[in-house]
Chains A and B, each alone.
Chain A
Amino acid sequence: MTTEEVMKEMAAILDEVAGVSADQVAMGKSFVDDLDVDSLSMVEVVMAAEDKFGVKIPDEEVKNLRTVGDAVNFIIKSS
């Protein structure tokens, strides 16, 4: 998948799970600081992304995924 395709799906997940509107989602945005995604919602985002992209995102990896870009790059690398 391309970066754009993964970004688009991530935006849809963030809207569904955490009520983040698509226009707020950008590679450099921090989940916690910019998008107000709390720890429980972050678990939901990770689970939804695993289902969507068929990847496994281990708990120890989640703490490294500070920004949307971190997550998108991890997904592209893993899929």
Chain B
Amino acid sequence: MGAQPKVVITGVGLVTPLGHDVPTTWQAVLDGKSGVKALTQDWADDLSSKVAGQINLEITSVLDKTAARRMDRSTQLAMIAAKQAVSDADVANNVDSERLGVAFGTGIGGLSTVMEQMQILNERGPDRVNPLTVPMIMPNAAAAMIELEIGAKAGAHAPVSACATSAEAIAWGTSMIRDGRADVVVVGGTEAVINRLAMAAFSAMRAMSTRNDDPQTASRPYDLGRDGFVMSEGAGALVLERYEHALARKAHIYAEVAGFGMTSDAHHIAAPDPEGAGAARAMLAAVKDADANLTDVMHLNAHATSTPLGDIAEGAAVRRAFGSHTDSIAVTAPKSSIGHTLGGAGAIESILTVLSMVNKIIPATINVIDLDPKVNLDVVHGDHRSLTKGSILALNNSFGFGGHNVCVALRTI
């Protein structure tokens, strides 16, 4: 161990289209299920992409009714995941509130609330606009509401980097502990923009799948027939903790956040750098930060959103970073099951990576019917893959529009 404090994961929480908690979501991933369904709402009739991963949960069955009405759906989902993680880590037990922090983000935030209030403004006038609109739509709403809920006083931050947001939140939380600002940080991300505007806007970019006749296979990373990502909603939360602090209060430790790498492409506002240089640098930086060798990396939980260009660019980036060791890295793409939760993805998928390490099993990427040879990675598909070696180092990639590349390195304890 180096000079800087070791950071470990002591709690996890999930709410996804596959399940409303961690065990249900994990089991659904292992069962090869898809959380994607047809959008049957009237507002979706004329959209080109009419499939999405929706969460069918009565929010007020898990959140207080009055608290829930002060939150956009994105914050509601964030709160559900955060409460699970905080309960799992037993944060109420022996954590000083002034040493407790939050780093929680969203890619887009309260867009659905914006749309609702815009309609009220236009139809009924300015004096009918909800007085809670601002705290509902601000991008730091989830971070702030979680901070209030758990009484975190070490600082609450809301990193925003599109679909890399919650991976960046993991990095921020890790830094807070390494810098000595906090002993425990609740990190993660959320998204809930299955609405007419977001669906139309991503479709206008030609980024989304239009496989409307077969929702369950619409998200198919690495398959030759992939035609874009599938919009999903969801949130993931992790409790990060200084290792000695976790030991002292006898917290259950899942794994170590061994390191992270963050770079930017300076290439294009939406398209990935086809050579994957920035993504490769992020992966290399994460391995270096973990004080590990490139050949230690056994598993990659890929960003792989099921877009024609993105999946190939990530493959190129992995090969650029790891050279011939690339063929020894087992790669899986959980967006095949969950779809793309944008700002929630990095946290959700880091949790799945941790569960893979703990349970020593890499879930198969579903919907790979014809593996695209241009991807050129060892994609786990068809059957799950066992992880047999004792100590496991795994990476989780998240990339966001704007050229944000974040790689989180996770290691078994």
Point out residues on A near B: beta carbons under 8 Å: 17-19, 40, 43-44, 47
Could you list some 10 contacts between A and B, CB below 8 A? A17-B66, A18-B66, A19-B65, A40-B131, A43-B131, A44-B130, A44-B132, A47-B127, A47-B128, A47-B131
Main secondary structure of the interface of B (DSSP, over half): helix
Q: Is the CB of B64 within 8 A of A44?
A: no
Q: Chain B's nearest CB lies how many Å from the CB of A48? A: 11
The chain A residue with its CB closest to the CB of B69 is A17
A47→B127 CA distance, assembly (Å) = 8
A43→B127 CA distance, assembly (Å) = 10
List 10 A-B pairs, minimum CB-CB distance, nearest first.
Answer: A19-B66, A43-B131, A40-B131, A40-B132, A44-B131, A18-B66, A19-B65, A47-B128, A19-B64, A44-B132
B-side interface residues, number (CB < 8 Å): 11
A40→B70 CA distance, assembly (Å) = 10
| A-side contacts of B69, CB under 8 Å | 17
A63→B65 CA distance, assembly (Å) = 27
The chain B residue with its CB closest to the CB of A51 is B128
Q: Chain A's nearest CB lies how many Å from the CB of B132? A: 6
A47→B128 CA distance, assembly (Å) = 7
| B-side contacts of A47, CB under 8 Å | 127-128, 131
A40→B132 CA distance, assembly (Å) = 7
Q: Chain A's nearest CB lies how many Å from the CB of B7? A: 37
| B-side contacts of A40, CB under 8 Å | 131-132, 135
The chain B residue with its CB closest to the CB of A56 is B127
The chain A residue with its CB closest to the CB of B134 is A40
A19→B64 CA distance, assembly (Å) = 9
Interface readout for B97-135 with A: 1 if CB under 8 Å, 0 if not?
000000000000000000000000000000110111001
Q: Chain B's nearest CB lies how many Å from the CB of A63? A: 15
Chain B residues numbered 286-333 whose CB sits less than 8 Å from any CB in chain A? none
The chain B residue with its CB closest to the CB of A46 is B131
Q: Chain B's nearest CB lies how many Å from the CB of A3? A: 26
A30→B130 CA distance, assembly (Å) = 23
Q: Chain A's nearest CB lies how many Å from the CB of B118? A: 17
Q: Chain A's nearest CB lies how many Å from the CB of B358? A: 39
Interface readout for B122-152 with A: 1 if CB under 8 Å, 0 if not?
0000011011100100000000000000000
| A-side contacts of B130, CB under 8 Å | 44
The chain A residue with its CB closest to the CB of B64 is A19
Q: Chain A's nearest CB lies how many Å from the CB of B110? A: 16
| B-side contacts of A43, CB under 8 Å | 131
| B-side contacts of A19, CB under 8 Å | 64-67
A18→B135 CA distance, assembly (Å) = 16
| B-side contacts of A44, CB under 8 Å | 130-132
| A-side contacts of B128, CB under 8 Å | 47
A11→B382 CA distance, assembly (Å) = 58
Q: Chain B's nearest CB lies how many Å from the CB of A24? A: 13
Interface readout for B57-70 with A: 1 if CB under 8 Å, 0 if not?
00000001111010
The chain B residue with its CB closest to the CB of A42 is B131
Interface readout for B365-402 with A: 1 if CB under 8 Å, 0 if not?
00000000000000000000000000000000000000
The chain A residue with its CB closest to the CB of B65 is A19
A32→B37 CA distance, assembly (Å) = 46
Q: Chain A's nearest CB lies how many Å from the CB of B29? A: 36
A61→B177 CA distance, assembly (Å) = 50
Q: Chain A's nearest CB lies how many Å from the CB of B6? A: 42
The chain A residue with its CB closest to the CB of B70 is A40
Q: Chain A's nearest CB lies how many Å from the CB of B384? A: 46
